[in-house]
Amino acid sequence: MILGLAAKAEAIERLPKNTVPLTADEVRRLYADKTWQWSAGAGRFIAKDRRFIAYSEEGGKPTIAEGRWEVTDHGRLCMNAVWSTPQDKARNRTCFRLVRDRGTVYQRREPKGNWFVLRSFKPRPEDEAHKLVAQDTVSPNIERLKPGMK
């Protein structure tokens, strides 16, 4: 269900030839205790117990998620969460693949998402990594929205 992820990141036609998957530690360092800001919400990757929480108000429809996140040594980041709306709830697993080449990190939603630059070797304003921030903007929104959820 992960709403609004990388919606504005520019797709890349083709990855460089020599990309390698990020290690679990590299993925963890990118996301642990960070909030990924989306166009109408955000997801929070809590390091302790690898908790994942998120909220969205895309299209004026409130949604919250609570679950866990995991990483692998094959450059994979997955969020396993129960997403709740005022009408329903459903379990969802969303995964991303992360690879690097000469200091630039690329990411795509699996299985068939477009590749985009997460972090350039020399950081650029349009890098998606700028949307990964230390501030927890998710918890207050979960508390605000949770009473109306299924």
5: pLDDT strictly greater than 60: no
| Domain annotation covers residue 85 | yes
Confidence band, pLDDT 50/70/90 cuts, at residue 8 = low
3-class state of residue 8 by DSSP? coil
Cα separation, 69 vs 50, whole angstroms: 5
The domain tally of the chain equals 1
Residue 32 lies in a domain: yes
With respect to residue 99, please indicate whether it lies within any of the assigned structural domains.
yes
**Within a domain: residue 67?**
yes
- Contacts of 125-130 with C-beta under 8 Å, sequence gap 24+, read 126/9, 126/10, 128/6, 128/9, 129/30, 129/105
Is the residue at 135 inside a domain? Answer: yes
> Would you say residue 10 lies in a domain?
no
Q: Which domain holds residue 112?
A: 20-148
Q: Is the pLDDT of residue 50 over 80?
A: yes
Q: Cα(140)–Cα(115) distance, rounded to whole angstroms?
A: 31
pTM: 0.90
Give the pLDDT score at 9. 66
Give residue-wise pLDDT tens across range 87-102.
999 999 999 999 999 9
Whether 2 maps to a domain, the answer reads no
What is the helix (H) or strand (E) element at residue 24, kind and residue range? helix 24-31
Q: Is residue 14 part of a domain?
A: no
